[in-house]
Amino acid sequence: MLERGCVQVYTGNGKGKTTAALGLAFRALGRGLRVCFFQFIKGSGVYGEHLLAEKLAPQLTIIRSGRPGWVNTKDITADRQTAQEALEQATKLLTSGDYDLMVLDEINGATAFGLIDVEQVLELIRLKPEKVELVLTGRNAPEQVIEAADLVTEMRDIKHYYLAGVPARTGIEM
């Protein structure tokens, strides 16, 4: 158990936000902490972290929310409903006392798409128990969330092999 939990934000257009949060989760697991990794707008696809979570349960729990595919930017109604239900579940888990580290992966992206309101994210931060570390990932972190956080890291895109035609690779991006 942590003596003091902080709020961390990993944002920016560069690669590595989820990966950094997974690294933190791995470190926490090594010290016997209980970790919940809650993924917004990642409803389908098998990623390496899901395969590892099966082996590390119950110390590591990964929960995915969202529909298959990507957010329907022409009509966010269904995606917003799904995100709101996920937010309710994530709030219960955050305040349950069952976890020492709670990662809300892509919550900033869900906010940028209008699926979750900024005020709802700020309420999560206010509800965070004192001894729980809370990590919020995703591009376009709202300024109010950045101000409320204890640590903010911006991943900046300088060069990316995707632009040279290298697709997402199993074991690296997936």
**Tens-place pLDDT, residues 3-24:** 999 999 999 999 999 999 999 9
Mean pLDDT, the chain, as a whole number? 93
For domain 7-13+20-156, give the CATH number: 3.40.50.300
* Predicted confidence (pLDDT) at residue 85 exceeds the cutoff of 90: yes
Residues 26 and 149: their CA atoms lie apart, in Å, by 22
Least reliable range by pLDDT among 1-10, 59-68, 95-104, 130-139? 59-68
Least confident window among 10-19, 58-67, 85-94, 164-173: 164-173
Measured between alpha carbons, how far is 27 from 29 in angstroms, rounded to an integer?
5
Angle at 39 between CA 10 and CA 50, to 5 degrees: 110
pLDDT at 174 exceeding the cut of 90: no
Question: How high is the pLDDT of residue 163?
Answer: 82
pLDDT at position 170:
83
DSSP code for 7 = E
What is the predicted pLDDT for the residue at 112?
A: 96
Cα 46 → chain centroid: 16
The ranges assigned to domains in the chain are 7-13+20-156
Q: Of 20-24, 62-66, 139-143, which range is least confident?
A: 62-66
145 — phi, psi (to 5°)?
Answer: -70, -40
